[in-house]
Amino acid sequence: MESKFEKKIEPTPENTPQDFRSIWRNFKDFLSNVLDIRHDTDKSGTIEDVKNNISMQGHTAWVLVFSILIASIGLNTSSTAVVIGAMLISPLMGPILGVGLSIGINDIDTLRRSFVNLGVMIGLSLITSFLFFKIPIFQNETPELIARTSPDVRDVFIAIAGGLALIVALSRRSKQTNTIAGVAIATALMPPLCTAGYGLAIGNFEYFFGAMFLFTINTIYIALATFLIIKFLRFPMVKYINSAKRKRIAQLASFVAILVFGFSVFQFYQLFQKGQFVQKANSFIQEMKNDGISIIDEDDKNINYEKNSIKLVLYGKTLNSTEIEQWEEKLTDYGLPTTTLNIQQGTDDSDIRAEVQNLTDLYSRNQEIISSRDEKIKQSEDKIKLLEAELNTYYKVPFSTISQEAKINYTGLKTLSYANVISTNFKSTDTLVVFTTTWYDSIPNNNQEQEQKLKNWLKIRLSLDTLKVVRE
């Protein structure tokens, strides 16, 4: 018999799909609310802000010159803080955003203006950095400069993410200035321009073209990110009275967008392939090291992606032709079947290396002996200091002062000596202060009065309970 408190639950399979659809719909609504950027977009305000910051004239031009100068000093001193400060005040983003915006809204006038100001910006930057680095005392190579001479695939991701973050922040009704400043630092447009000027100043065109390539990549991907967000947010297109002109402009803008996009994809692919090649080559070199092969002069330039080659300089035990062929065959295992392995090695200097190792071991042993001797000397010095400290614990008699006073008080006193006498009764040990006196002949030998007075005076004068005065 069923209890009245028991309730039989019937399965409702027909409701299960509907529940899942409801949960999925709620989840999509939640994601839409979290990720949607359209509801708070200020389209007209964004277009106005971007257009206002395109110009590189007057005050903006001087701000650019000074910021390039600051960045060049920071790169020359390898001061990251100075470089960051220069990037915060530089107006480099304006023309680049203008290019992406104008292509997105088919604004040919803004596109032309953006390209002109972009050229002015590049020219001013190169001239300023060139003049600074032309000064001989500022031409030393620093890690900060070298780091901006060649791009890799990570720079592409930084430029894309930075450009997306920048245009999204600008499109809000309430602008996020901290995001704009952060993107200026992360994308690092200014240091490559300064490095390009450095390359021109020292006549190193490899540095110049490498730095300009890095700047071009950052510029293209920031403009491309701007273009994509403008299209996604459906900014209003610029309207022309002449429909035929509008159509031509739209076609031109689309052609430029496709051209930029295609070039950016090609660049990304090239950088990705180069990164893969370098990674595989480093893994191959590491295996050679693990196998006991000594490699010197390791430089990034020795891994040449353009020439598809790896150059290694060996020292120590030389490799014969069979061993070199075996390593060349191993290149296929690392996905480098067509790569040329260029191994440079001298004569076998194993004997010299063994002698150097022997000298190194001998030096190490001598250092251990010296360290041991120094330790013994230190222990002896510490023991001496300890004994001196123990001696200082004994009572000190101001003998010089006492002797002068005794001479005045006791005219018959001829000499006075002082010593600490250690005595023992084999049960305890004690230290006794003993004064030894000699008197002039005018003092009778049996007269003990002067000696007793001297003894009493010394006890009081020295605050001693016990002391001994003897006649010599």
Mean pLDDT of 326-346: 80
Same domain for 383 and 282, yes or no, is: no
In a domain, 248, yes or no: no
For residues 284 and 363, membership in a common domain is answered with: no
Domain contains 271: no
- The highest-confidence range among 49-58, 115-124, 206-215, 361-370, by mean pLDDT, is 115-124
Q: Does residue 387 sit within a domain?
A: yes
Classify residue 146: in a domain, yes or no. Answer: yes
Q: Whole-model pTM? A: 0.56
Specify the range with the lowest mean pLDDT, choosing from 42-51, 190-199, 329-338, 348-357: 348-357
Query: In terms of Cα–Cα distance, which of 133, 116, 112, 258 is closest to 195?
Result: 133
In this structure, the answer to whether residues 387 and 407 fall within a common structural domain is: no
Can you give the pLDDT at residue 4? 46
Domains: count for the chain: 4
Measured over the CA atoms of residue 353, residue 357, residue 362 and residue 363, the dihedral's sign is positive
Instruction: Say which residue, 38 or 135, is predicted with more confidence.
Output: 135
CA–CA distance, 121 with 128 (Å, rounded to integer) = 11
Q: Write the pLDDT tens digit of every residue in 397-434.
A: 777 888 888 888 887 788 888 887 777 777 777 777 88
Q: Which domain holds residue 416?
A: 399-471
Q: Are residues 445 and 300 located together in one domain of the fold?
A: no
Q: Kindly state the tokens that stand for 342.
A: 């260029």
- Angstrom distance (rounded) from CA 124 to CA 116: 12
Would residue 378 count as lying in a domain? yes
More confidently predicted of 260 and 16: 260
Where residue 217 falls (left for φ over 0; alpha for ψ -120 to 50; beta otherwise) is alpha
Residues whose CB falls within 8 Å of the CB of residue 451, separated by 6 or more in sequence, listed in order: 437, 469, 471
Residues contacting 342, CB < 8 A, separation 6+: 309, 310, 311, 312
Look up the CATH number of the domain holding residue 454: 3.30.300.30
- Min mean pLDDT across 128-137, 158-167, 204-213 is at 158-167
- Of 341-345, 350-354, 371-375, which range is least confident? 350-354
Pick from 217, 238, 259: which residue ends a domain?
238
Strands 413-424 and 309-315: unpaired
Domain assignment present for 290: yes
pLDDT at position 204 over 80: yes
Do 285 and 166 reside in the same domain of the chain?
Answer: no
Q: Are residues 385 and 416 in the same domain?
A: no
Q: What's the average model confidence in pLDDT over 120-124?
A: 91
Asked which of 184, 219, 238 is the last residue of a domain, the reply is 238
pLDDT category of residue 349 using cuts at 50, 70 and 90: low
Q: pLDDT tens-digit profile of 75-85?
A: 888 888 888 88
pLDDT(5) > 50: no
* 194 and 230 together in one domain: yes
Whether 95 is in a domain gets the answer: yes
Q: Of 238, 270, 291, which closes a domain?
A: 238
Q: Which residues contact 231 (CB under 8 A, 6 or more apart)?
A: 104
Task: Pick the most confident of 155-169, 191-205, 279-293.
Answer: 191-205
318 domain residue, yes or no: yes
Whether 341 and 443 map to the same domain: the answer is no
Q: Distance between CA 239 and CA 257 in Å, rounded?
A: 19
